[in-house]
Structure 1
Amino acid sequence: MLTPAARGTLGETVLEALRAGNTAGLAELPGPDDADDAQITLWSLFELHHRGFDDVADELEWDPQLIALRRRLEDDLEQQLRDRAPEPPAPGAFAEDFFAFIAGHDGPSAAAHLHRTATKEQALEFLRHKSIYTLKESDHTTWTIPRLSYPVKAAVVELQYDEYGGGNPHRLHANLFAKGLAASGLDAEYGAYIDEAPLEVLVQNNVMSLLGLNRRLRAASLGFLAAFEATSSAPSRKIARGLQRLDFPAEMIEYYTEHVEADAVHEQLAVRTVCGALLEEEPEQYENVYFGAWACLHVEDLYADRVLKEWTG
């Protein structure tokens, strides 16, 4: 993958510096022009810790200037989220309270639109947007594993083993999605559609990387995971039925049908065993677990609200 197109003055300067390998002074640059400029720049800096870019030297991954700039941008993103996050429910029976918290959330649903009324073009756009994350599905959670105690680590690895295909690369979820993209006539190359990704897709991906990369946010990353799994099964069923309605190929539908059953199991594991075990050991992480869970719901709401307004007027 090559570096994406810039979306403002900051991005132009940073991406040119990445390609040239000259990062002097980047940490002192003025702030971004707007949210798009900030988020594509932050996404590019985070991507150095994923697969990187073909036109950027691998040695720049931990460049001090880039890390300092990334810290500025990710701190701004985290603060924006914390300013909007609600107070968590009072501590009680964690699993039951967490599922009630998820059930009580009433946000817009792109899946419901895809199920009943989306056009083929809208479904293809949805898949292109989702490819930015899904072609590296679960990788941000894997970053948390070295930061966890043995019981929590074992539970996360159990879940991740399923996400990564149980040792079979053909069943790895990201690979299933790539096969579905190709069968649908879309580009299955990693990052192929980054230049058309709206702001909300960038924010969603950046929040995952923010939580996964920072050890102090490990509980928030696991809370994000738990909310993600707890809100995946039913929407996946709706999306699969919508894709069937629109005559998408079996390979694309299979990705979503795989998640109907798998995530129904994963939600129990993520909430009760992963987050439950974490909070038994570190009860002081309670607020961060809920912060991550809320962030998961919030960024999906932002995306759904954006595309539904575009699709339905």
Structure 2
Amino acid sequence: MKTQDSATVPVPIAEHPSGRGLWLAALGVLIYSFTLPATVFALEGVDPYVVGVGRSAAAGVLAAVALLSVRARPPRRDQWAGLAVAVAGVVFGFPVLSTLALDHGASSAHSAVVVGLLPAATAVFGVLRAGERPSRAFWLAGTAGAACVTGFALIRGAGRVTAADLLLFAALVAAAAGYTEGGRLTRDMPGWRVISWALILAAPITVPVTGWLLATTHPRWTGHAVLGFGYVTVFSAYLGFFAWYEGLARAGIARASQTQLAQPILTLIWSGLLLAEPIDATTALAAVAVLVCVALTQRARIGRVPTTAPGARTRSGRDRFPTGP
């Protein structure tokens, strides 16, 4: 005899099937795949620091509205350190460094193949910080995917180490750290709240810095600049994390991060369509090879060291993003 209605029993997020998590991660990847071409658009009339910092300042306004609309409680004391790492990685690190790399002459395609190593870096951080234990098969498939991306970069002439390459490498390390901490925090609170609080935490820096940059750099808001800046603000800096952090939490950081192996290929396609950068047979072959590696990583087993976090997250009504006023 049942003593409690199963519909009212909170279900820990870690107990949900990983399939939905992988779909959410894939949606995040699709959103992020437009980031580099959109940044190129924004740079047509806007200073790179305005693009890198200003998008987080503007996204912080959206975050404040979302949090106020549900009267969200502040994070627990033990969560602020993880939020600080997320801020350093995904609010400041990746946006600023990747934008500077593009401003230093790296094309969107060049940047895409270098940042293609991000899944491997995220998997490593997942092992170090999130207690995950990928199998040997996972590592072999992930390494093969990283090798495909690296080989593609070399074939396309991206193997030379330049200042832009160093900036991109630093950007992907920063993003990997921010993704891992965000995914870890999303086990305790919804992903949209993680990125919202991260943007609010950064606002005392991003807002005044953006105001000063706008006053001193005299941006030219062309159609492309507005479109590009608007995209990286609304989607890359904010809405993309709704799906991405949830995907990392539900499917596991190491496994979900491997869906990003498809991101450089998608970015190359958008670069060809939007920026008229060439797409040849090599790109098609690399796309097939990378997608095969992604499929293999999803079949590999990912273990997680059991942890009991205080205030473990549940699928209660308060955890859901509001759909109405």
TM-score, normalised with respect to structure 1: 0.31
TM-score, normalised with respect to structure 2: 0.30
Higher RCO (Cα < 8 Å, 6 or more apart): 2
